[in-house]
Amino acid sequence: MTNLTIAKFGGSAIGLDGESIPQIVNRINNLKINSKLISVFSAPLTIHGGKKRSLTDIILEQGKNAENGIKPTLETVKSSYQKIIQLVNEENKENCQKVIDTHLKKAQKALDDAFENKEFIDETRSRALAFSGEILMSHVMNHILRSNQIKTDAVEFDDWPIITDNNIESTNFLKSESVEQMEKIENLVENNEVVTIGGFIGKTIDNITTTYERGGSDRTAADLGILFHKKYETSIDFEKDSAVVSADPKIVDSGLREVIQLSYNEARLAGMFGMKILDPIAIKEIVEHGVDMPIKITNIKNPEKVTTIKRILDEQKGHPIKIVTGKENCAIFRIETNSIQKLLTSLEKDKRYSEFIILSPFTKDGVEFSRILFLDGDYVRRNEKYLLGFDSLATITYDRGVITLIGDEMWRVQQVASRTSAKIGESGLNILNMDAQEETSRIIIVVEDAEENIRKAIVAVHEEISKINFI
């Protein structure tokens, strides 16, 4: 069976105004030696207001301006693409410029609609993001790859294979409907070395443009893997600044361990709890569709540094506690235990994907309450009315953070719960809740999300676990 690699290049891999694209071209040249290749692209980065920004953020800002009666502009976006197009040779430059102009005209039309209607929501928002960011970038990369003598083609939006439901701004993948739309991309893969496609974007069966939530380009790569895994020997390769290490290197600057392999479960938990490996929903979708394919996290600057993610690992290697991570901006929702099932059923039915953990219950005035730890406090704020509607006694506490230890074989570590909690206490932090269950592959410690609490706790715990013996 022919190999197919789905390689995802995020904004950080692309770099400011495309400065890292030559590196991407080199990686693509290497990846295509032994495999067909679908390359998924995020929106590029640029400098705006003196800060490094994604073009996605810039468009969202312009959309907010439009809602507030300020005329939206694409000047910053245009400027970024004019720098990127310098990587296209003369033979392909005219066509590439036409593609840029056509797509940005569509994005401007969406912003103008938002300005006229004073609303930047639903399809208007999705069109503005799609045609200024991911889809456009995939076409520009197509011309850059052609300029480097690579046989390639881009997926047109009319032929889009990712079909979704009608939750336009936080949409969900529909496999059976997507399978019916695969003919065009299958032909492109068959007839080219490389196929480029934008991440983050979907469309309904009625041709309405949709978007995943932020980080959704990872889901695009996963969806394509789900669609192609029976036809090709399929793998997914996320090209990043580094492979996986035992904590966020922006927080922990010494004693980091390389993580050679992770199970699907460990990787999903790491994503849920703040380690930016890949979107946990991407793995969730792969698991839900019964697919087993290898996922790699590759250091694009040093491709020999790789972390492999598999459903079930052949054998566990290294320290059983793979990762120490933290998550700020969490919230705890308390609800009568008698009412929780209705809420859980609703969350599942409506595919409200904000990740949450059910903590141990407690009793007050003879009534048992369950506690749900939501890992996105902003999600809870947006949906307060919906959540509180399930129980008149329900309450919400914001400004909570969690420190999480992750490893499927954590049971091999002696006194891990007591020693890590003691270490956090020594750091001057008050532990508000601790949840340690062998079968969950994680220990979570809840603290107040204030000042540098989460960062301090991660550093303290990471230092401690390196000293703990394991069986």
Cα three-residue angle 70-51-103, rounded to 5 degrees? 55
Closest by CA to 172, choosing from 266, 76, 285, is: 285
Give the strand pairing for 261-263 and 306-310.
parallel
Residue 17 has pLDDT above 90, yes or no: yes
The secondary structure of 23-48 as a DSSP string is HHHHHHHHHTTSSEEEEEE-PPEEEE
Residue 438 confidence (pLDDT): 60
**DSSP 8-class letter at 390:** T
Average pLDDT, the chain: 93
* C-alpha span between 196 and 137 (Å, rounded): 9
Residue 3 has pLDDT above 90, yes or no: yes
Domain 323-465, CATH: 3.30.2130.10
User: In which residue ranges of the chain is CATH 3.40.1160.10 found?
Assistant: 3-240
Whose tokens are 């105004």? That residue is 17
Read off the tokens for 289.
Answer: 């569709």
Give the strand pairing for 194-198 and 442-448.
unpaired
Give the strand pairing for 295-299 and 233-240.
parallel
What is residue 211's three-state secondary structure? strand
CB count in 10 Å sphere of residue 359: 18
* C-alpha span between 180 and 206 (Å, rounded): 14
Domain 3-240, CATH: 3.40.1160.10
Q: How far is CA 86 from CA 39, 94, 208, in A?
A: 21, 11, 33
Global pTM value: 0.92
* C-alpha span between 323 and 369 (Å, rounded): 31
As beta bridge partners, residue 215 has: none
Residue 319 confidence (pLDDT): 84
Read off the tokens for 269.
Answer: 């938990």
User: Residue 64 — pLDDT band, cuts 50, 70, 90?
Assistant: very high
Residue 350 confidence (pLDDT): 66
As beta bridge partners, residue 17 has: none
> pLDDT tens, 333-391?
999 999 999 999 888 876 555 688 888 888 988 889 999 999 999 989 988 999 999 99
Phi, psi of 199 (to 5 degrees): -85, 175
> pLDDT tens, 4-13?
999 999 999 9
* C-alpha span between 10 and 215 (Å, rounded): 9
Residue 59 has pLDDT above 60, yes or no: yes
Residue 327 has pLDDT above 90, yes or no: yes
Mean pLDDT of 214-219: 88
What is residue 290's three-state secondary structure? coil
Q: Let me know how long the chain is.
A: 471
User: In which residue ranges of the chain is CATH 3.30.2130.10 found?
Assistant: 323-465
> pLDDT tens, 222-267?
999 999 999 999 999 999 988 999 999 999 988 999 999 999 999 9
> pLDDT tens, 267-313?
999 999 999 899 998 999 999 999 999 999 999 999 999 999 999 88
> Comparing 454 with 437, which gets the higher pLDDT?
454
Mean pLDDT of 20-31: 97
* C-alpha span between 72 and 75 (Å, rounded): 9
* C-alpha span between 168 and 175 (Å, rounded): 17
CB count in 10 Å sphere of residue 421: 19
Q: Helix/strand/coil (H, E, C) string of 138-195?
A: HHHHHHHHHHCCCCEEECCHHHCCCEECCCCCCCCECHHHHHCCCHHHHHHHHHCCEE
Residue 21 confidence (pLDDT): 98
* C-alpha span between 364 and 373 (Å, rounded): 19
Mean pLDDT of 127-150: 97
User: Residue 318 — pLDDT band, cuts 50, 70, 90?
Assistant: confident
Instruction: Confirm if 462 and 324 have CB atoms less than 8 A apart.
Output: yes
Instruction: Confirm if 243 and 306 have CB atoms less than 8 A apart.
Output: yes
User: Residue 131 — pLDDT band, cuts 50, 70, 90?
Assistant: very high
Phi, psi of 292 (to 5 degrees): -125, 100
